Amino acid sequence: VSLSVAVAGATGVVGREFLRVLEDRAFPVGSLRLLASERSAGTRLPFAGDEVPVEALGPGSFAGIDVAFFSAGSEVSRRSAPDAVRAGAVVIDNSSAFRVDPAVPLVVPQVNGETAGLHRGVIANPNCSTILLVMVLAPIERRVRIRRVVVSTYQAVSGSGAGGLRELERLGEAEREGREEAPAVYPKPIHRNVIPFVQAFGEGGLTTEEWKMVKETRRILARPDLAVSATCVRVPVLRAHSEAVNVELQRPVDPDEVRRWLAEAPGVRVEDDPQTLAFPTPRDAEGGDDVHVGRIRRDPAEPRAIDLWLTGDQLRKGAALNAVEIAERLFGVGPLAGPRGAASRFP
């Protein structure tokens, strides 16, 4: 197999990660078209020992393309994904443009990979924090029904793209030099701070990011009734989102059992030993593929509930890696195409 691949938003933090993931996994890239705004036309990005020029994205950009990875924001996806589909490409979209459209599969291959085949041209890659969360919830839900999930996130600045990374650096530098600088990307300074607000406010006092976690978790787990409560927080970490999660189950479960289920789950790594101070931090997850889990314990206030901590690189499993895994499954290439993918059916 050899596929013609396009990356829309190639110059962004997710776009650049796409190039690394495609290369790391030896995805069968026959040809590669890199697309971004007119500002970046002519820039060259490294891929597989070569330098690939970036072109301005336009209606004719997708001729001959088999698979188009979109990571250029919702507006670009809404405008250009239909062009790509008309040109015969499958679009795997990282924005939130199509995630709640019931006709568009919302896919995490290890959880509901079988739904990818139902697409009509577009497949949505879920929200980054939600992907990390369902990777850990699904192996539990397969054994014991989940009643309620309460999650607080600790989200890295690269989750806001290149602008978030620059803002943390700029505010830190200004403070070290004794200058006052106003925040631009976030409503409050992110340097030496945490901000209980991600993206925008929505209905009921929740942020739009919190609503994504509620709605997308229900959709991916095929549990429209699931009680999910989320608080999304931005922290001055460069890369890898973390989450503190309380999972209330149908019946009490031994934390050792949960540890075993998670240790067996593909794409999940358990690091959990109070004796040796083993627990994962975002720096452990940076640049890697697994969702790391630790601090697995019984909730002392509710015997049916388990508390845990997880962290994962949101530019990889939360974005580019998950999208490439979807393509691998769809085109029957790579590790998830084999029996492991088939065995990961959910529920």
Ligand X SMILES: NC(=O)c1ccc[n+]([C@@H]2O[C@H](COP(=O)([O-])OP(=O)(O)OC[C@H]3O[C@@H](n4cnc5c(N)ncnc54)[C@H](OP(=O)(O)O)[C@@H]3O)[C@@H](O)[C@H]2O)c1
Is residue 72 within the footprint of ligand X (CB under 6 A)?
A: yes
CA distance 236 to 239: 9
Judged by CB under 6 A, the residue of 73, 121, 172, 183 near ligand X is 73
Kindly state the smallest distance separating residue 208's Cβ from ligand X, in Å.
11
Which residue lies nearer to ligand X by CB, 189 or 318? 318
Q: Kindly give the interhelix angle for 128-141 and 208-220, rounded to the nearest 10 degrees.
A: 40
Kindly state the smallest distance separating residue 162's Cβ from ligand X, in Å.
4
Kindly state the smallest distance separating residue 58's Cβ from ligand X, in Å.
9
Which residue lies nearer to ligand X by CB, 16 or 259? 16
Judged by CB under 6 A, the residue of 4, 95, 115, 153 near ligand X is 95
**Can you list the alpha helix ranges (DSSP code H) found in 107-157?**
109-112, 128-141
CA angle 40, 43, 44 (to 5 degrees): 145
Kindly state the smallest distance separating residue 10's Cβ from ligand X, in Å.
6
Residues in 122-151 at the binding interface with ligand X, rule: CB under 6 A: 128
Which residue lies nearer to ligand X by CB, 72 or 89? 72
Is residue 36 within the footprint of ligand X (CB under 6 A)?
A: yes
**Phi and psi based region of residue 74 (left: phi greater than 0; alpha: psi -120 to 50; beta: remaining):** alpha
How close are the terminal C-alpha atoms of the chain, in Å?
Answer: 30
Binding mask 75-94 toward ligand X (x if CB under 6 A, else -) reads -x-----------------x
Is residue 112 within the footprint of ligand X (CB under 6 A)?
A: no
Q: Kindly give the interhelix angle for 255-264 and 128-141, rounded to the nearest 10 degrees.
A: 110
CA distance 271 to 157: 24
Is residue 185 within the footprint of ligand X (CB under 6 A)?
A: no
The DSSP symbol for 319 reads I
Q: Which stretch binds ligand X (CB under 6 A): 20-28, 156-164, 248-256, 285-293?
A: 156-164
Residues in 190-209 at the binding interface with ligand X, rule: CB under 6 A: none
Among 243, 244, 229, 241, CA closest to 307: 244
With a CB cutoff of 8 Å and minimum separation 6, the contacts of 290 are 267, 268, 269, 312, 317
CA distance 62 to 72: 15
Among 156, 145, 330, 118, CA closest to 232: 156
Contact 265, 162 (CB under 8 A): no
DSSP, collapsed to helix, strand or coil, labels residue 337 as helix
Is residue 61 within the footprint of ligand X (CB under 6 A)?
A: no
Which residue lies nearer to ligand X by CB, 105 or 161? 161
Residues in binding contact with ligand X, number by CB under 6 A = 29
Is residue 314 within the footprint of ligand X (CB under 6 A)?
A: yes
Q: Which stretch binds ligand X (CB under 6 A): 140-148, 214-222, 267-275, 310-318?
A: 310-318
Judged by CB under 6 A, the residue of 92, 230, 315, 330 near ligand X is 315
Kindly state the smallest distance separating residue 32's Cβ from ligand X, in Å.
15
Is residue 110 within the footprint of ligand X (CB under 6 A)?
A: no
Is residue 11 within the footprint of ligand X (CB under 6 A)?
A: yes
DSSP, collapsed to helix, strand or coil, labels residue 260 as helix
Residues that bind ligand X (CB under 6 A): 9-15, 36-37, 39-40, 57, 71-74, 76, 94-95, 128, 158-159, 161-163, 314-315, 318-319
